[in-house]
């Protein structure tokens, strides 16, 4: 119980460890640990991306605005420059005109210019002054010269209002004018406020001057007037203002019709429609006067550019103000770019989020799976515990049954009754082994199955298996037979339990799926058949069938029962080769066997042939898969789980062989497998042969028998069993032949081949009605003789009462042997018939291993360590029974004291749970002690240690716990094995046999 | 006739013991260990068991009467009892011991006391049964018969 607890704690700690691992794994994944933050991360991402796209939008928008402004500036400046240039050109031209007037009007005498010339000249040069609507020349006339002037020209000086000019200091009447402005001729320019100021300013500076904008006389357009002074005489290089005024002869003026002219000018430039241009006179900065453009402030007020205009008059300042017609359009590019960026980022964010969520989900699933795995493993542990418990519970009542059977066997029974009782006992034992096998299945699954290596008798294993199924096969009317080739060694070393399990599985399957015909188990050495199988495959698979058909005819095949089998290898055509060869090589094989001692491996080939329903072709490739039956109806009809074959395959492979099958639906299946056993060593063979060899009575040696059987395979099987009893066998095809042979021999040669027994197959006897007759004849002949009567025995698979009666009448008074035949059963029958041998020793069968154990343990000195007095006594008693000298110790400490080196114990059985020092601890200390001693020994006497081996007393744990974990722990602390407590003979034997083999001290 | 009847009675009695679960296969094993060299093996071991068990039961009673119970010690005693009972195949005693140890592990005083009661009960039962069986065997032996296995 304590161990169980420890174990469960162990499991618990495993689970905890797994959890820890999971925990650390959980810690490593960043996403998993921040799963709650994921939506927030997403939101944050979206917000940040929104900000970034807004910023992008702003930046692009600002860029486009700057570009717009630059365009505006460029356009505005261009316009201003063009306007300015044109203006300058016009001004220069007016300047030129002024020089022209001064040259031709004043320096020439008489004047070379009159109104006509001036008008024509100015008209023809008007293209040079596109900005000027017209030019005119006004002469400076002082008041004193007014009359003279008026007389000379024939008109009076008029004011702007076209009235006769009032008296002033001086006048500036227009004398020459371009035709476009001819209406101003004779008007006094000094009468207009603007003009007068202009005139005064221009003659003082000697440069062109401009008026502020005003409505022009003719067109009523806004305009400015340009005035240029014309000097009479050449001026000094640096003239003063007085000198200039003095020298002034007149003024040349031109009117700029700014409005229309600028309109024309701008119309020629590109982008006219886009921008709005205003030109201002800003001489008086507080009150700018508009020269061109609309006063009302429409258009885009946000973006305005001012360009300075220099029209060549330093006293006047002009500027051009440009702005766009329309407000700045929304920047679609920026908007789209920003929006697309946002959308892409949103998608990227969503994808990342989705991926993260997926990772979280996958990891969750993973953890869930891990948890489930842990739980499943726990369930597996629970399962094996359950199996252990249940099997224990079943074992107890089974012991009752076996006990009662043992009692029954003790009573006086007829041979049949004895056979039944023995069969029941064997079956009961098989059930217990089966339960153990169920336990072993868990071991196979865990890969922890260990094969035994003990000597055993192959033939008796086959007999046992057959007896298991004898009842079933009899009920079904099946022929069940086994044949083991002679060259198969009697004893081999291997795992009898597993071997039996394999055969039981295969035969069990065959019995289950066969309704008629036979089941034939055949074993031979694989080496023998190799050349033949290689030489004859075509025959089997191609020609074999036809041949069989031809020879046997009418559906009779030369198989055991006459039914067709899937694999022809067991049919007589093939089988006789084996038998013949065996006979030929009989002597050789003995020699060979001796020669082969060195090569210790024996490869056994076993085939189990049936004539059942076969395996459907579709299902053939999944036959060895666990829980797979041919189809679902199979389990309905025949029961079973379908796990048997998979276990069988595992076991065969563990034994170093392989399994295969040939199956034909509705014909039958043949499963064949190979296993590798060790040959029994000569020495151990001699030691163990007697106790382990099947106890077949030797009283039949030298007897002669005639087997009457038409079917050679079946006859060979019968002979095989008889041969094992030491009986010489002859064949006869019919009763007649047997009788004649017997008679001939009996009469002429006397004792030569006088048969003691005649075995007749039931179907042969029944088929020939003459059989009965000839039997009588046979009897008669015998009666006439002095020799003892040969015993007549009928061989039958099943027999009805009527047939039995008939048989008795026919002369088979002696007995009927019910098949399947087994050597022991045949022996029992013959004993009854011939009266040879005595009743078998009761109980001997049950303890058939005791002698070996005795051999192993006899004279050995064994230490039993257990704190429990009763346990100690029982263990000691059990060991003593097998001849061991037992000493006891009641604690680990006492054991340590007894095992101080050197000691003479051959083995130590150690209880695990003891107070103070438990078995594990004690073992550890013992091993430590031994290793120290070994080191010293190795140091001092090399040869001795090499030959004698080292100190290593085999320590076997005694435990009530049957779990593997305990076993592992035992091995870990240096124990050699364990026996279950309370002792079971089988178990004890296994444990002891193991360390006996591996330990030279015990072996010597 | 009398002897045969006695023998039958013994077999039936023993079977009933197995059947009712007082004994298990271990007892059979024990019987198998008895032979000519060791004719009284079973009786010897069983009486050892009786002595040991009585000692342990007393110890247990004492241990459980204490104010502060040393469960470790109790557990050790129960383990002993379990071991010896399983060695002679006194199955029912062994089973109660298993339950007992579970209570010990839980440190369940009430459960322990209950189990002690049960163990005592089972022990006295098996003791009576075994003793009467031995008596039967003695009778058979004194009548000159052999004990059927």
Predicted pLDDT at A388: 66
Q: Do B80 and A867 touch (CB under 8 A)?
A: yes
Predicted pLDDT at A341: 93
Yes or no: say if A861 and A906 are a contact pair by the CB < 8 Å rule: yes
Q: Do A877 and B79 touch (CB under 8 A)?
A: no
User: Which residues lie below 8 Å from residue A744, measured CB to CB, with a gap of 6+?
Assistant: none
SS3 for B58-113 is HHHHHHHHCCCCCHHHHHHHHHHHHHHHHHHCEHHHHHHHHHHHHHHHHCCHHHHH
Chain B residues within an 8 Å CB radius of A847: 32
What band does A852 get if pLDDT is binned at 50, 70 and 90? low
Taking residues B75-87, report their average pLDDT: 86
Q: Is the pLDDT of residue A51 over 90?
A: yes
A 792-851: CB under 8 A from B:
843, 847
- CA–CA gap between residue A879 and residue A864 (Å, rounded): 9
Chain B residues within an 8 Å CB radius of A6: none
A868 touches chain B (CB under 8 A): yes
Q: Give, in order, the Cα–Cα distances in Å from A381 to each of A7, A18, A445.
A: 11, 16, 12
Closest residue to A984, CB basis, from B18, B29, B76: B29
A395 touches chain B (CB under 8 A): yes
For residue A961, give the chain B residue with the closest CA: B83
What band does A20 get if pLDDT is binned at 50, 70 and 90? very low
Taking residues A561-585, report their average pLDDT: 63
Q: Mind telling me how many Å the CA of A435 is from chain B's nearest CA?
A: 15
| Of the candidate ranges A130-139, A601-610, A689-698, the one whose mean pLDDT is the lowest | A689-698
- Rounded (5°) CA angle A135-A140-A142: 155
Question: pLDDT tens for residues A899-911?
Answer: 887 778 888 888 8
Question: pLDDT tens for residues A86-125?
Answer: 888 888 888 888 888 888 888 877 778 888 888 888 888 8
Token pair for A942: 């090399």
Q: Is the pLDDT of residue A3 over 60?
A: no
Taking residues A197-222, report their average pLDDT: 79
Taking residues A835-861, report their average pLDDT: 53
Q: Do B29 and A878 touch (CB under 8 A)?
A: yes
Question: pLDDT tens for residues A315-359?
Answer: 788 888 888 877 777 778 888 999 999 999 999 999 999 998 999
Question: pLDDT tens for residues A870-928?
Answer: 888 888 887 777 777 888 888 888 888 888 877 788 888 888 877 778 888 888 888 88
- CA–CA gap between residue A969 and residue A951 (Å, rounded): 22
Q: Give, in order, the Cα–Cα distances in Å from A263 to each of A74, A110, A335.
A: 19, 42, 37
Q: Mind telling me how many Å the CA of B9 is from chain A's nearest CA?
A: 13
For an interface test with B, the pick among A5, A406, A868 (most B C-beta atoms closer than 10 Å) comes out as A868
- CA–CA gap between residue A181 and residue A225 (Å, rounded): 12
Mean pLDDT value across chain A: 74
Predicted pLDDT at A630: 53
Residue A162 region by backbone torsions, left for phi larger than 0, else alpha for psi between -120 and 50, else beta: left
Task: Give the torsion through C-alpha atoms of A771, A777, A781, A783, to 10 deg.
Answer: 100
For residue A406, give the chain B residue with the closest CA: B149
Token pair for A425: 């006992």
Question: pLDDT tens for residues A371-385?
Answer: 999 999 888 778 767
Predicted pLDDT at A998: 39
Closest residue to B87, CB basis, from A395, A407, A874: A874
Q: Is the pLDDT of residue A538 over 60?
A: no
DSSP string, A531-563: HHHHHSHHIIIIIHHHHHHHHH-TT--SSSSSS
Predicted pLDDT at A580: 62
Taking residues B116-121, report their average pLDDT: 88
Listed in sequence order, the DSSP H helices in A585-638 are 586-595, 632-638
Strand partners, A758: A706, A792
Q: What are phi and psi of A413, to 5 degrees?
A: -125, 155
Predicted pLDDT at A549: 37
What band does A48 get if pLDDT is binned at 50, 70 and 90? very high
Calculate what percentage of chain A has a pLDDT beyond 70: 71
Host H or E run for residue A576: helix A572-584
Predicted pLDDT at A4: 43
What band does A589 get if pLDDT is binned at 50, 70 and 90? very low
Predicted pLDDT at A14: 43
Q: Is the pLDDT of residue A545 over 60?
A: no
| Of the candidate ranges A561-570, A659-668, B98-107, the one whose mean pLDDT is the lowest | A561-570
Predicted pLDDT at A575: 67
SS3 for A836-862 is CCCCCCCCCCCCCCHHHHHHHHCCCEE
Q: Pick the residue with more confidence: A51 or A580?
A: A51
Closest residue to B79, CB basis, from A1, A881, A982: A1
Q: Is the pLDDT of residue A441 over 70?
A: no
Token pair for A32: 């998993």
For an interface test with A, the pick among B11, B21, B25 (most A C-beta atoms closer than 10 Å) comes out as B25
A878 touches chain B (CB under 8 A): yes
Closest residue to B30, CB basis, from A396, A874, A960: A874
Helix (H, G, I), strand (E, B) or coil at A515: coil
User: Which residues lie below 8 Å from residue A443, measured CB to CB, with a gap of 6+?
Assistant: A449, A964
What band does A534 get if pLDDT is binned at 50, 70 and 90? very low
A909 touches chain B (CB under 8 A): no
DSSP string, A164-180: BPPP-SEE-BEEEE-GG
Q: Do B87 and A870 touch (CB under 8 A)?
A: yes
Predicted pLDDT at B141: 82
Q: Do A960 and B80 touch (CB under 8 A)?
A: no
Q: Do B15 and A403 touch (CB under 8 A)?
A: yes
Q: Mind telling me how many Å the CA of B90 is from chain A's nearest CA?
A: 12
CB atoms within 10 A of CB A638: 15
Predicted pLDDT at A445: 62
ipTM computed for the complex: 0.83
Q: Which of A186-195, A838-847, A872-881, B95-104 has the highest mean pLDDT?
A: B95-104
Q: Do B32 and A847 touch (CB under 8 A)?
A: yes
Strand partners, A280: A290, A319
Q: Do A960 and B86 touch (CB under 8 A)?
A: yes
- CA–CA gap between residue A179 and residue A137 (Å, rounded): 12
Q: Do B86 and A410 touch (CB under 8 A)?
A: no
What band does A748 get if pLDDT is binned at 50, 70 and 90? very low
Chain B residues within an 8 Å CB radius of A873: 44-45, 48, 87
Taking residues A387-408, report their average pLDDT: 77
Closest residue to B11, CB basis, from A407, A869, A985: A407
Burial class (CB in 10 A: 0-12, 13-18, 19+), A217: middle
- CA–CA gap between residue A467 and residue A473 (Å, rounded): 10
Task: Give the torsion through C-alpha atoms of A559, A562, A566, A571, to 10 deg.
Answer: 20
Token pair for A449: 């199955």
b vs e for A607-637, b when ≥16 Cβ sit within 10 Å of the residue's Cβ? bbbbbbbbbeeebeeebbebebbbeeebeee
Q: Is the pLDDT of residue A754 over 60?
A: yes
A 930-989: CB under 8 A from B:
960, 981-985
Closest residue to A407, CB basis, from B76, B80, B148: B148
For residue B97, give the chain A residue with the closest CA: A1
- CA–CA gap between residue A468 and residue A462 (Å, rounded): 10
Helix (H, G, I), strand (E, B) or coil at A213: coil
Taking residues A774-788, report their average pLDDT: 48
């Amino acid at each position: 119980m304590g161990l169980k607890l420890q174990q469960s704690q162990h499991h618990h700690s495993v689970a905890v460890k797994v959890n820890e691992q999971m925990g650390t794994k959980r810690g490593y994944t960043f996403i998993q640990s921040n799963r709650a933050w994921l939506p927030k991360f997403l939101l944050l991402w979206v917000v940040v991306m929104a900000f970034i796209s807004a910023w992008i939008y702003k930046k692009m928008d600002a860029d486009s605005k700057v570009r717009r402004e630059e365009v505006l500036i460029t356009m505005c400046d261009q316009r201003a420059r063009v306007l300015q240039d044109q203006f300058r050109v016009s001004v220069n031209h007016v300047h030129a005109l002024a020089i022209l007037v001064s040259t031709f009007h004043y320096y020439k005498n008489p004047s070379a210019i009159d109104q006509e010339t001036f008008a024509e000249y100015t008209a023809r040069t008007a293209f040079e002054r596109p900005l000027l609507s017209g030019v005119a020349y006004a002469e400076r006339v002082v008041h004193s010269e007014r009359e003279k002037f008026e007389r000379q020209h024939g008109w009076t000086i008029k004011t702007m209002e076209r009235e006769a000019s009032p008296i002033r200091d001086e006048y500036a009447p227009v004398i020459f004018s371009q035709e476009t402005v001819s209406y101003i001729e004779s008007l006094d320019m000094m009468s207009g406020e603007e003009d007068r100021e202009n005139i005064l300013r221009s003659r003082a500076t000697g440069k062109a001057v401009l008026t502020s904008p005003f409505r022009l006389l003719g067109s009523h357009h806004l305009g400015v007037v340009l005035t240029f002074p014309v000097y009479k005489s050449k001026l000094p290089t640096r003239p003063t203002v007085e000198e200039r005024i003095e020298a002034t002869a007149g003024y040349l003026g031109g009117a700029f019709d700014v409005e229309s002219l600028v309109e024309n000018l701008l119309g020629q430039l590109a982008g006219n429609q886009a921008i709005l241009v205003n030109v201002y006179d800003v001489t008086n900065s507080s009150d700018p006067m508009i020269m061109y453009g609309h006063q009302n402030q429409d258009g885009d007020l946000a973006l305005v550019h001012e360009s300075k205009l220099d029209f060549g008059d330093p006293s006047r300042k002009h500027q051009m103000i440009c702005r766009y017609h329309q407000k700045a359009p929304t920047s679609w590019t920026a908007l789209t770019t920003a929006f697309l960026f946002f959308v892409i980022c949103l998608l990227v964010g969503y994808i990342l989020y989705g991926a993260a969520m997926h990772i979280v989900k996958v990891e969750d699933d993973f953890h869930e799976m891990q948890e489930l795995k842990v739980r499943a493993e726990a369930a597996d542990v629970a399962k094996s515990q359950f199996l252990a418990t249940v099997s224990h519970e079943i074992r107890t009542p089974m012991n009752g049954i076996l006990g009662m059977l043992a009692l029954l066997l003790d009573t006086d029974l007829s041979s049949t009754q004895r056979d039944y009782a023995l069969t029941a006992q064997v079956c009961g034992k098989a059930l217990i082994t089966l339960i153990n096998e169920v336990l072993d299945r868990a071991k196979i699954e865990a890969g922890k199955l260990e094969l035994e290596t003990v000597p055993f008798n192959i033939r008796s294993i086959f007999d046992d298996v057959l007896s298991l199924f004898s009842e079933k096969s009899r009920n079904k009317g099946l022929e069940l037979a086994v044949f083991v080739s002679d060259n198969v060694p009697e004893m081999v070393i291997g795992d009898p339990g597993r071997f039996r399990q394999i055969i039981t599985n295969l035969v069990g399957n065959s019995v289950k799926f066969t309704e008629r015909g036979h089941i034939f188990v055949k074993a031979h050495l694989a080496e023998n058949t190799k050349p033949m199988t290689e030489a004859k495959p075509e025959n089997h698979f191609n020609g074999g069938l036809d041949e069989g058909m031809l020879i046997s005819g009418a559906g009779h095949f030369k198989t055991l029962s006459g039914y067709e089998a899937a694999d022809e290898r067991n049919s007589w055509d093939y089988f006789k080769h084996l038998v013949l060869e065996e006979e030929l090589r009989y002597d050789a094989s003995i020699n060979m066997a001796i020669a082969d001692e060195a090569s210790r491996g024996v490869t056994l080939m076993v085939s189990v042939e049936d004539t059942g329903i076969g395996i459907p072709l579709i299902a053939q490739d999944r036959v060895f898969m666990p829980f797979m039956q041919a189809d679902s109806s199979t389990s309905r009809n025949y029961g079973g789980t379908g796990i048997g074959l998979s276990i069988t395959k595992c076991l065969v492979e563990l034994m170093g062989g392989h399994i295969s099958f040939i199956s034909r639906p509705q014909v039958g299946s043949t499963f064949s497998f190979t296993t590798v056993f060790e040959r029994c060593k000569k020495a151990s063979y001699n030691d163990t042969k007697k106790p382990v060899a099947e106890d077949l009575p030797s009283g039949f040696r030298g007897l002669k028998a005639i087997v009457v059987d038409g079917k050679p395979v079946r006859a060979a099987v019968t002979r095989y069993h008889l041969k094992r009893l030491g009986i010489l066998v002859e064949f006869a095809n019919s009763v007649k032949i047997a009788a004649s042979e017997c008679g001939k021999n009996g009469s002429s040669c006397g004792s030569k081949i006088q048969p003691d027994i005649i075995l007749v197959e039931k179907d042969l006897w029944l088929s020939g009605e003459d059989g009965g007759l000839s039997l009588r004849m046979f009897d008669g002949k015998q009666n006439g003789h002095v020799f003892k009567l040969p015993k007549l025995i009928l061989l039958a698979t099943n027999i009805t009462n009527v047939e039995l009666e008939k048989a008795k009448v026919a002369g088979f008074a002696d007995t009927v042997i019910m098949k399947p035949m087994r050597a022991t059963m045949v022996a029992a029958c013959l004993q009854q018939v011939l009266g040879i041998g005595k009743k078998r020793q009761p109980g001997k069968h049950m303890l058939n291993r005791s002698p070996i154990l005795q051999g192993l343990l006899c004279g050995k000195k064994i230490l039993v360590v257990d704190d429990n007095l009763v346990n100690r006594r029982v263990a000691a008693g059990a060991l003593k029974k097998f001849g061991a000298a037992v000493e006891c110790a009641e604690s680990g400490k006492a054991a340590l004291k007894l095992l101080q080196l050197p000691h003479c114990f051959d083995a130590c059985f150690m209880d695990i749970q003891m107070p103070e020092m438990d078995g594990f601890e004690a073992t550890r200390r013992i091993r430590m002690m031994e290793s120290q001693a070994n080191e010293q020994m190795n140091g001092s006497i090399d040869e001795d240690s090499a030959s004698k081996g080292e100190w290593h007393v085999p320590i076997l744990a005694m435990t009530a716990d049957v779990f593997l974990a305990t076993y592992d722990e035992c091995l870990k602390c240096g124990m050699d094995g364990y026996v279950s407590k309370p002792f079971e003979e089988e178990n004890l034997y296994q444990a002891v046999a193991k360390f006996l083999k591996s330990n030279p001290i015990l072996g010597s | 006739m009398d002897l045969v009847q006695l023998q039958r009675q013994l077999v039936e009695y023993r079977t009933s013991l197995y059947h009712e679960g007082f004994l298990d296969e271990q007892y059979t094993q024990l019987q198998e260990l008895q032979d000519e060299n060791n004719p009284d093996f079973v009786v010897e071991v069983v009486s050892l068991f009786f002595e040991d068990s009585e000692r342990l039961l007393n110890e247990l009673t004492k241990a459980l009467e204490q104010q502060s119970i040393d469960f470790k010690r109790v557990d050790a005693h129960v383990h002993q009892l379990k071991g010896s009972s399983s060695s002679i195949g006194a199955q029912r005693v062994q089973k109660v011991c298993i339950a007992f140890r579970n209570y010990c592990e839980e440190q369940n005083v009430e459960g322990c006391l209950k189990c002690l009661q049960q163990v005592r009960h089972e022990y006295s039962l098996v003791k009576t049964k075994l003793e009467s069986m031995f008596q039967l065997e003695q009778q058979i032996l004194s009548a000159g018969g052999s004990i059927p296995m």
